[in-house]
Structure 1
């Protein structure tokens, strides 16, 4: 076998201009930290927030600090952004009297302690600080909260959207897509590939890259007891030893295992049926599974729980292919077995 760098280069799999990493199938990671600093500085530095309204003048100055990490992974053609950042943005405010004379000039800081891909669909917390805490200084701070906070959030959303599209790797991905439309005939000859016309057949829709989990568990309790345990956040906290928030209304939101799982109630029939939309924070953005729990009581004091969870992705946002296995184990070990152990519902 030839060593790397030897032999016919047509047979060496490497990142070359001819698009050897076809459709970005192989794992590729791009460091986005400097790109993130440049983009966020452009988005948030030297912008006017207020210009005379109420005799107030406020503008952002420079970003004092950006810390953390940012990268984009591409695997099997999928863009997987990852970032955890904290920011400090300097701002300046001035109050003038009716004659245009300056009454007070005050400096302040906007602190964004946590911007993360795990919370890409949520706005981050923002803390506004003014160094002069007198009445006029507080007036400037309040004005920034009213006018400046939404500006900052909008700019952060621009960054989050740019990362979701590939960040600095976006242009490279586009180049590779174009190059992949050419095929290599010889070492130095390329021929533009003719577009492939696909024949479309109407078939039953099948989700590729997703699995369905089915489980049946039996408990020595009434179906109403099991329904109450699964829908009561205090009991859920008790048997999982983690924080939970569970709405008991259709359309209400749920948050389980300290926020690792979030979702919405789709259908509820007390003592009989629970249907919820579930997603884990580690799943790619926009993906939700559907959990259906059917409670049956074939005889008094015996409840059978039939679980079906559809549209479970085979991979998480980081490319780990153990999502289905971990989800099934979680139901079995962290939920059903714990309920038996804590409430004594063993069969």
Structure 2
């Protein structure tokens, strides 16, 4: 099989002016590595596996590595997926005493799946589970992950394999690409399609109706109000400082502090740019998630108010959040709101001690 980007040019037909690959007849090739990273991150990251059972706590963290290749070829409407991936996922584990109060051990580990490939799509791949602490309690936590986490990882990899078999990010090409709709022919006897004049010589009058502004469907607005024990300018600085973002989210971030400047947070899964900035008072940004359909951009508006000294109330308005992503998931609004509460506001309170 030809590698990604090296398809035989005899099979590749130039794009039509209307952008349509009719019936998906011609060979098309889509790079899926970025999509795979986002898809697997949504499935595997930040998931609680144990929450106090036998006083053990285990939660997945993030994808530390995803290397290899992933692509989907489509020919005559047939989907031909190809992928060879090496995945490394990190997790955190904690054990408490018999009363469930004091922490006995807090440690971390990794899960490596060295070979996820289309050739063994029907089989559970090899998996390697490790933990930093190799003492008795560490081994207990590792065994707990093997019992609970191993089936979880296999289940999510099967979901990825199924999604690739259905076309991955190229699935939309099978359904969405359609020939442009032709204008309907003029109805009525003797009406000319170009001149607008009937055979009898009378001028056909076009009815002019006021265009109604349609409500934007398929999008929602998220509103949240949070109270922090800190000054407004301190909270503003935390949200605009990439090093602090990295600290409380435990993920990579690049943030510009200039109006018009771009940012990338949560390991690149969210990107955007600054629209308006007023230190300690206002942040307005454009936000886009990598899992959204192309061209969709939402608006984030954060206002900061100090009703009393040392207390800040932040009001979030996140508009134009799509109800569904490019993969057909209908929990985008719910997940986005939960992300604001759990991954941003609550973590700021936990890390910087700004809780109320």
User: Where on the TM-score scale, by shorter chain, does this alignment land: which range?
Assistant: 0.3 to 0.5
TM-score (norm. length: structure 2): 0.47
TM-score (norm. length: structure 1): 0.48
